[in-house]
């Protein structure tokens, strides 16, 4: 392979990574979907979980009039005095990744979210090579601080 062909290939690869003549600062972050609070969503699930499907009035036969006592529900994640849910870093990373997946163009694989810190926890996103374009990775990284700020109001890192 000649040096000119090698240089042309290298320039093409660098241009594709850096996005040609476009500047990364010009990319605006995508609008985030309205974040649904995590804590209130847990309450309706607890009420539904108390009545097993087999004992639901809709699924009972007319001849079966016996009413079974509802089974106790396993306690949810512990709450802080502020009413925030305490979750391990892996669970918070899953929440962050789930919210990021709602953004258009987010890659299906090759993305890792790491949660770190203590009281004011933070998140870091990394992409595998060729999982997304440079412009899209920039958009997702710019959207991450807003998402973390919103999640901190409802979730605290469990140590």
* pLDDT tens readout for residues 48-60: 444 455 554 444 4
Of the options 3.30.70, 1.10.20, 3.10.450, 1.25.40, the CATH number for the domain spanning 77-158:
3.30.70
Tell whether the model's pLDDT for residue 3 goes beyond 70: no
Give 106-141 pLDDT, tens digit per residue.
Answer: 999 999 999 999 888 999 999 999 999 999 999 999
Mean pLDDT of 5-22: 64
Q: Cβ distance 96 to 103 under 8 Å?
A: no
Backbone angles phi, psi at 119, to 5 degrees: -65, -50
pLDDT band, residue 44 (cuts 50/70/90): very low
CB-side exposure of 102: number of CA atoms within 13 Å?
14
Residues of the chain with pLDDT > 90, as a percent, come to 42
**Residue that the structure tokens 């309706």 belong to:** 44
- Tell me the average pLDDT of the chain: 73
The reported pLDDT for the residue numbered 78 is: 73
Bridge partners for 125 per DSSP: 113
Most confident of 3-12, 15-24, 65-74: 3-12
CA distance 126 to 103: 16
82 versus 23: the higher-pLDDT residue is 82
| Residue partners of 18: CB distance under 8 A and separation at least 6 | 24, 134
The pTM of this model reads: 0.52
Count other Cβ atoms within 10 Å, centred on residue 151: 22
């Amino acid at each position: 392979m000649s040096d000119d062909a090698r240089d042309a290939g290298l320039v093409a690869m660098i241009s594709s990574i850096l996005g040609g003549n476009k500047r990364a600062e010009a990319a605006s972050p995508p609008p985030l979907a309205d974040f649904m609070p995590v804590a209130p969503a847990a309450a309706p699930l607890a009420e539904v979980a108390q009545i097993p499907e087999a004992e639901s009035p809709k699924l009972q036969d007319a001849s079966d009039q016996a009413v079974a006592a509802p089974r106790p529900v396993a306690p949810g994640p512990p709450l802080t005095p502020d009413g925030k849910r305490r979750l391990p870093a892996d669970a918070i990373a899953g929440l962050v990744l789930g919210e990021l997946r709602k953004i258009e163009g987010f890659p299906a694989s090759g993305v890792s979210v790491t949660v770190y810190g203590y009281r004011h926890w933070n998140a870091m996103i990394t992409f595998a090579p060729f999982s997304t374009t440079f412009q899209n990775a920039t958009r997702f990284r710019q959207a991450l601080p807003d998402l973390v700020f919103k999640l901190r109001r409802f979730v605290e890192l469990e140590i």
